[in-house]
Amino acid sequence: MALSRLASSSSRSADLLKPLCSAISLRRPISTDTTPITVETSVPFTSHQCDTPSRSVQTNAKELFTFFRDMALMRRMEIAADSLYKAKLIRGFCHLYDGQEAVAVGMEAAITKKDCIITAYRDHCTFVSRGGTLLEVFAELMGRQAGCSRGKGGSMHFYKKDSNFYGGHGIVGAQVPLGCGLAFAQKYSKDEAVTFALYGDGAANQGQLFEALNISALWDLPAILVCENNHYGMGTAEWRAAKSPAYYKRGDYAPGLKVDGMDAFAVKQACTFAKEHALKNGPIRGKSLSLVEAIKLTSSCSVCCAYMQILEMDTYRYHGHSMSDPGSTYRTRDEITGVRQERDPVERIRKLILSHDLATEKELKDIEKEIRKEVDDAIAQAKENPLPESSELFTNVYAKGLGVESFGADRKEVRAILP
Amino acid sequence: MAATFHGVGATVAALSSSSSSSSPSNSFGSKKLLSSPSRSFSVRKRASFTMVRSEGSMNFDLNSKGRRAQQLIANAVATKADSSPASSSSKPGHELLLFEALREGLEEEMERDPRVCVMGEDVGHYGGSYKVTKGLATKFGDLRVLDTPIAENSFTGMGIGAAMTGLRPVVEGMNMGFLLLAFNQISNNCGMLHYTSGGQFTIPIVIRGPGGVGRQLGAEHSQRLESYFQSIPGIQMVACSTPYNAKGLMKAAIRSENPVILFEHVLLYNLKERIPDEDYICNLEEAEMVRPGEHVTILTYSRMRYHVMQAAKTLVNKGYDPEVIDIRSLKPFDLYTIGNSVKKTHRVLIVEECMRTGGIGASLIAAITENFNDYLDAPIMCLSSQDVPTPYAGTLEEWTVVQPAQIVAAVEQLCQ
């Protein structure tokens, strides 16, 4: 009552409001509490050629709030990108990740910035989870200088080298051999880190995927291939494109795990498990084994024998494949709303927070309002940002400081100054 | 900012003065004119076309060719050649968009020959990402209009294998750039099997898909593959640019016993035109005369045709008479049409969307120089895209491809 009166008066009272608020919330220091809470994943894990991790995940209030905030931010960001696309400020292709946020957030919670992540074109949220700012996202989407790729890449080409985020790739499946390369380098330099190479259910049918599986297993690369199975490869359902939609079993000899990708804690648990397995499983393969020992090991399989594993994240995208796809010609609206009601990742965390009595509905709504404002501010800032200079057309073609010249095969300088 | 190709702002005054004597102002031509006696003949020939230019009005000399050129100026963006078999009056025929024309061609061929089938990503139930195959799966069934997984290498190979036995598949690459994954199949199998088997197998396959620079689609989705495919022996390449030739080329490609790669362009799918009701095909090896002219031959294809025609409007207003030819056939080149044009105008400008390095333009320059060197008054000029990956930012992307202003400047420089 006193609060509401204060709230309705001038800005001076807003300063008064702050200490009151924190005084009230002092009884629950919600954002920094690290007392452990145990949550159960939505469904048990299914495994192939290895043990399943436990369904009980350790977490705490701080992590719950981080998850909520990050996922709500990603959700808001993607919806804002939808509106910007319809307003023609974003053009070309725009693939949105809303519905799949739990994969990005859960994975990030299980690893460090030393571990590498590489993904395909649905990369806005993964970029943010790796530390990208909203300004970089929106500026890149609108083709401005402040974008993470200086406006030259676009929606499908987000990268962040300093936090080992390797993109951002337009051609389906082509990023997975690149991921093997990242893992190869980690093994080569003895980095004690792993690579998560993400791809979709559509890409799982690419030949280069099978090649990547083979070489990762053959050379014991610390690569974890993560199939984000949203059940539709562009406009084709998974059962119409794949004889066996059990993507986690495709490794055959390599261990696989099927995870509920809409549950951030399941994702976190699986990624922790996978990373541990990949890093710890060296010595067995490192030794030269007699043939009998080798056969015994592979057949007993309570200890996995390949570094490389496949994680299949059972997830869902609310939007169509891209902004030019309505997303409703190959699936029913009922299906989409059904998933949104029953399995939405943000709602799941919200319910967890409320059930553990860590915050009220209103407080969560306030966080969402704050996020909305943050996103709107970033968009406004990005809109102000200038488009790249025309000389940028010729920079970064080669890395040898050749300036603004562009060289054809005849080494002749061609510089086009346009009217 | 002025284009580098924008020379000395060539004006008609310079042109008319140069037409009466060997032109010192034409830096390209002067040396050549002095050195080869045969060319002076052509200078005198050109001198008979004196032009009186004034802003806005188009007065030409009473030569019959000029009169025809005058007639066509109103249709500077003509999409049908004068000599096309279709009637020139607009009443008969039906109007449709380019992707519908492609669909019509495909549908007619599928009805005509049961061995014609389609395979590609999202072509069946989804109807095609550019709607070229919409409704065909319902009509012909799931096997004849096959939805493939995202596995270009294997389904292109599958199409080629099926073609070896006598089926006539039409393989769609959702975007031409994805066909890079199938390059081995296209190069080694599609192109070579007829040869390496001593003629036993023919590969009557059609590989088609949209390519080219679109509206901010990003580097990987804005590729122009005609330059990569052109040296594969054994294949034919055609590029469609209007609904009329899209349907005609699609039908001709399906009927051809040779493997044909049909290049469509992402930005041309919504072009509208009236096409004939009756059955027709376009010759796969023929170029299309878009606008006859006298001063300069402009060779182009696909989307650049429209940039050229836009520039042609400006050029005509400035008093030039460009002859615009849509080469359509990228492999082999229609050197008959091109040669006749070069013999008439003696100046060639190529406007293409390929990269400067190793593009169709580069090959065309070599072919023309080799065959028609004596008829050229100036070195061939080629305007191509910059040798850079296509940037996402709209303004940068615009500067990657050739713009009409550059074409105008190039013609002015060429015709000095």
Which chain A residues are within 8 Å of B219, Cβ to Cβ? 153-154, 157, 170
CB-nearest to B388 from A143, A205, A394 is A394
Task: Please name the residues between 146 and 165 in chain B that touch chain A, using a CB distance below 8 Å.
Answer: 147-151, 153-154
Give the model's pLDDT for residue A410. Answer: 54
Query: Does residue A336 sit in the same domain as residue A409?
Result: no
Query: Does residue A350 sit in the same domain as residue A408?
Result: no
> A315 in the Ramachandran plot: left (φ > 0), alpha (ψ -120 to 50) or beta?
beta
Give the model's pLDDT for residue A299. Answer: 46
CB of A69 closer than 8 Å to CB of A371: yes
Judged by a CB distance cut-off of 8 A, whether residue B70 touches chain A is no
Query: Does residue A367 sit in the same domain as residue A402?
Result: no
Q: What is the mean pLDDT of residues A57-85?
A: 96
What is the C-alpha to C-alpha distance for residues A284 and B231, in angstroms, rounded to an integer? 51
Rounded to the nearest 10 degrees, how much is the dihedral formed by the CA atoms of B71, B72, B75, B80? 130
Q: What is the mean pLDDT of residues A46-56?
A: 93
Catalytic site residue from B100, B104, B109, B152 = B152
Burial A334-371 (b: 16+ CB within 10 A, else e): eebeebeeebbbbebbbebbeeeebbeeebbeebbeeb
Choose the weakest-confidence range: A7-21, B298-312, B313-327, B390-404. A7-21
Q: What are the pLDDT digits (tens) for B333-357?
A: 999 999 999 999 999 999 999 998 8
Which chain A residues are within 8 Å of B129, Cβ to Cβ? 234-235
Domain contains A70? yes
What is the C-alpha to C-alpha distance for residues A318 and A136, in angstroms, rounded to an integer? 24
Which chain A residues are within 8 Å of B125, Cβ to Cβ? 235-236, 240, 330
To probe the interface with A, which of B133, B222, B396 has the most A CB atoms within 10 Å? B396
What is the C-alpha to C-alpha distance for residues B70 and A194, in angstroms, rounded to an integer? 71
Query: Does residue A224 sit in the same domain as residue A195?
Result: yes
Judged by a CB distance cut-off of 8 A, whether residue B221 touches chain A is yes
CB-nearest to B147 from A236, A390, A393 is A236
SS in 3 state form for chain A?
CHHHHHHHCCHHHHHHHHHHHHHHHCCCCCCCCCCEEEEECCCCCEEECCCCCCCEEEEEHHHHHHHHHHHHHHHHHHHHHHHHHHCCCCCCCCCCCCCCHHHHHHHHHHCCCCCEEECCCCCHHHHHHCCCCHHHHHHHHCCCCCCCCCCCCCCCCCCEHHHCECCCCCCCCCHHHHHHHHHHHHHHCCCCCCEEEEEECCHHHCHHHHHHHHHHHHCCCCEEEEEEECCEECCEEHHHHCCCCCHHHCCCCCCEEEEECCCHHHHHHHHHHHHHHHHHCHHHHHCCCCHHHHHHHHHHCCCCCCCCEEEEEECCCCCCCCCCCCCCCCCCHHHHHHHHHHHCHHHHHHHHHHHCCCCCHHHHHHHHHHHHHHHHHHHHHHHHCCCCCHHHHHCCCCCCCCCCCEECCCCCEECCCCC
Which chain B residues are within 8 Å of A418, Cβ to Cβ? 1, 3, 399, 403, 405-406
Query: Does residue A364 sit in the same domain as residue A412?
Result: no
Give the model's pLDDT for residue A167. Answer: 87
CB of B110 closer than 8 Å to CB of B161: no
Looking at the structure of chain A, the number of domains it has is 2
Answer whether residue A350 shows pLDDT above 80.
Answer: yes
Domain contains A400? yes
Q: What is the token pair recorded at B55?
A: 């802003």
> Above pLDDT 90, what percent of chain A?
75
What is the C-alpha to C-alpha distance for residues A284 and A276, in angstroms, rounded to an integer? 14
Residue B416 exposure: Cα atoms within 13 Å on the Cβ side: 20
What is the C-alpha to C-alpha distance for residues A324 and A340, in angstroms, rounded to an integer? 21
Domain contains A30? no
Domain contains A12? no
Which chain B residues are within 8 Å of A241, Cβ to Cβ? 147-150
- In single-letter form, the type of residue at position A20 comes to L
Query: Does residue A395 sit in the same domain as residue A367?
Result: no
Run of H or E including B211: strand B206-211
Q: What is the token pair recorded at A131?
A: 């530390």
What is the C-alpha to C-alpha distance for residues B312 and B306, in angstroms, rounded to an integer? 9
Averaged pLDDT of chain B: 83
Q: Which residue has the tokens 């949105």?
A: A96
CA-CA distances (angstroms) from residue A330 to A112, B100, B127? Answer: 38, 22, 11
What is the C-alpha to C-alpha distance for residues B81 and B68, in angstroms, rounded to an integer? 13
Burial of A14 (0-12, 13-18, 19+ CB in 10 A): exposed
Phi then psi for B94, rounded to 5 degrees?
-135, 155
- Higher pLDDT among residues B308 and B58, named by residue: B308
Report CB contact under 8 Å: B1, A417: yes
Active site residue B152: yes
Domains detected in chain B: 2-19+86-275 (3.40.50.970), 286-414 (3.40.50.920)
Query: Does residue A225 sit in the same domain as residue A261?
Result: yes
Domain contains A173? yes
Q: What is the token pair recorded at B13?
A: 């005054």
CB of B396 closer than 8 Å to CB of A390: yes
Query: Does residue A145 sit in the same domain as residue A205?
Result: yes
Report CB contact under 8 Å: B391, A392: yes
Burial of B192 (0-12, 13-18, 19+ CB in 10 A): middle
Which chain A residues are within 8 Å of B215, Cβ to Cβ? 91-92
Of the pLDDT bands very low, low, confident and very high (cuts 50, 70, 90), residue B59 is very low
Domain contains A312? yes
Query: Does residue A396 sit in the same domain as residue A280?
Result: no
Q: What are the pLDDT digits (tens) for A388-401?
A: 998 888 888 877 65
To probe the interface with A, which of B385, B386, B392, B407 has the most A CB atoms within 10 Å? B392
Give the model's pLDDT for residue A402. Answer: 53
Run of H or E including B196: helix B193-196
Give the model's pLDDT for residue A285. Answer: 37
Q: Which residue has the tokens 């790796």?
A: A130
> Above pLDDT 90, what percent of chain B?
76
What is the C-alpha to C-alpha distance for residues B181 and A210, in angstroms, rounded to an integer? 15
Our CA-based measurement puts residue B30 at a distance from the nearest CA of chain A, in whole angstroms, of 24
Which chain B residues are within 8 Å of A416, Cβ to Cβ? 3-4, 386, 399, 406
Q: What are the pLDDT digits (tens) for A235-259?
A: 999 999 999 999 999 988 999 999 9
Burial A105-128 (b: 16+ CB within 10 A, else e): bbbbbbbeeebbbbbbbbbbbbbb
Domain contains A71? yes
Task: Count CB atoms within 10 A of the CB of residue B57.
Answer: 8
Choose the weakest-confidence range: A20-34, A86-100, B260-274. A20-34
CATH of the domain at A264: 3.40.50.970
pTM of the model: 0.80
Task: Count CB atoms within 10 A of the CB of residue A164.
Answer: 20
- Cα angle at B11 between B5 and B16, to 5 degrees? 125
Instruction: Give the structural domain span for A334.
Output: 36-284+302-388
What is the C-alpha to C-alpha distance for residues A287 and A284, in angstroms, rounded to an integer? 6
Answer whether residue A181 shows pLDDT above 70.
Answer: yes
Report CB contact under 8 Å: B386, A393: yes
Query: Does residue A280 sit in the same domain as residue A401?
Result: no
Nearest alpha carbon to residue B381 among B27, B70, B21: B27
Answer whether residue A10 shows pLDDT above 70.
Answer: no
Q: What is the mean pLDDT of residues B216-225?
A: 94
What is the C-alpha to C-alpha distance for residues B192 and B201, in angstroms, rounded to an integer? 10
Angle of helix B12-20 relative to helix B37-47, nearest 10 degrees? 120
Q: What are the pLDDT digits (tens) for B139-192?
A: 999 999 999 999 999 999 999 999 999 999 999 999 999 999 999 999 999 999
Chain A's closest residue to B180, CA to CA, is A171
What is the C-alpha to C-alpha distance for residues B272 and B101, in angstroms, rounded to an integer? 9
What is the C-alpha to C-alpha distance for residues A239 and A229, in angstroms, rounded to an integer? 12
- Cα angle at B30 between B28 and B34, to 5 degrees? 135
Query: Does residue A271 sit in the same domain as residue A406?
Result: no
- Give the list of residues 6+ apart from residue B363 with CB closer than 8 angstroms, or none: B230, B333
Domain contains A239? yes
- Give the list of residues 6+ apart from residue A269 with CB closer than 8 angstroms, or none: A41, A45, A53, A54, A57, A110
Rounded to the nearest 10 degrees, how much is the dihedral formed by the CA atoms of A26, A32, A38, A42? 100
Q: What is the mean pLDDT of residues B220-232?
A: 94
Phi then psi for B415, rounded to 5 degrees?
-95, 20
Q: What is the token pair recorded at B331?
A: 């492999």
Report CB contact under 8 Å: B218, A329: no
DSSP state at residue B212: S
Answer whether residue B34 shows pLDDT above 70.
Answer: no
Active site residue B221: yes
Q: Which residue has the tokens 């199938």?
A: B182
Give the model's pLDDT for residue B21. Answer: 41
- CA-CA-CA-CA torsion sign (B249, B250, B254, B258): positive
What is the C-alpha to C-alpha distance for residues A90 and A144, in angstroms, rounded to an integer? 11
Answer whether residue B91 shows pLDDT above 60.
Answer: yes
Q: What is the mean pLDDT of residues B226-254?
A: 96
DSSP state at residue B388: S
Q: What is the token pair recorded at B49?
A: 């076309």
Length of chain A in terms of residues written: 419
- CA-CA-CA-CA torsion sign (B289, B290, B296, B300): negative
Judged by a CB distance cut-off of 8 A, whether residue B342 touches chain A is no
Query: Does residue A352 sit in the same domain as residue A414?
Result: no
